[in-house]
Amino acid sequence: MRLGLSFVAKPAIGNSYIIRSMNHTAQYGKALAEFLASERQLEYPVITTEYDFFLQLIDDTVARLADMKPQVKITKIAQILPSERDFRALVAKLKATGVNRVGVFLLTDQLITFMRQARENGLIAEIFGAALCETAAKTEGAGRYLEGCIYPDNEVSAEFRSKYRAKFGDESQLTFAGAGYDMSKLLAEHFKAYPNSSARETLTALSQVRDRQGVLGKFSFKDDPTFGKFFEYPVAVKKISNGVGVAVR
């Protein structure tokens, strides 16, 4: 049996002994789509890097919007390489649209560079993206550029956040760390009680988990033919406020 950290559902689909310890992108996409659909803007320009998680999250958000509010569109205006660092032409293109909110799905270092160039070159639109907005906002010197960014994510308990920062000095990859911590505790309890469990017995035990309190909220085991086996946590839409991700929906 394999218990993995992955937002993308594909590794677990059709694999009886693979469990993902996190929500899948369709759940984050649903939360983001509901937020976007509640706003007045009808077309959202988006840029993204070539990264499976971002591409799947955008596709899932688009699909959810189509169901909820078909007149709202996401238009991918650029898909760039992870090595790209000069975004001034893209910033100018986004400014020319005159929209109030744009999507930016970039890796952490790219995102910081983009946001610095965007704000320094007069792009005032609100930015939405993925949970890496929070990681970027915690990078020294970057917080002021990420202020106000919107993204779907899990909420982490204040106690775990504080202990993580005290130990590691930052809050990067906090969601992954929280899920990993919850899974470690869950498995430790199981193997303490049943040290000789087979893979099948362990899977059976994990499949019984319902509303267990973790550092990312209460989580439950799910087995879905579309998304495979995974642990489901609450998902929120968050906004960077004074350098901290705060739930707004």
Beta bridge partners of 103: 46, 128
First to last CA, the chain: 35
Residues written for the chain: 249
Dist CA 59 CA 173 (whole Å) = 23
Tell me the mean pLDDT in the region 67-81: 95
pLDDT at residue 46 in the model? 97
Q: For the chain, what is the mean pLDDT? A: 93
pLDDT at residue 8 in the model? 86
| Spatial strand order in the sheet of 43-49 | 73-80, 43-49, 101-105, 126-128, 150-153, 236-241, 244-247
Dist CA 27 CA 50 (whole Å) = 21
Q: SS3 for 123?
A: coil
pLDDT tens-digit readout, 195-224: 999 999 999 999 999 999 999 999 999 999
> Do the strands 18-20 and 2-4 form a parallel or antiparallel pair, or are they unpaired?
parallel
pLDDT tens-digit readout, 82-109: 999 999 999 999 999 999 999 999 999 9
Dist CA 174 CA 164 (whole Å) = 8
Say if residue 7's pLDDT is above 90. no
Dist CA 239 CA 134 (whole Å) = 9
Query: Domains of the chain (ranges plus CATH)?
Result: 1-249 (3.40.50.2300)
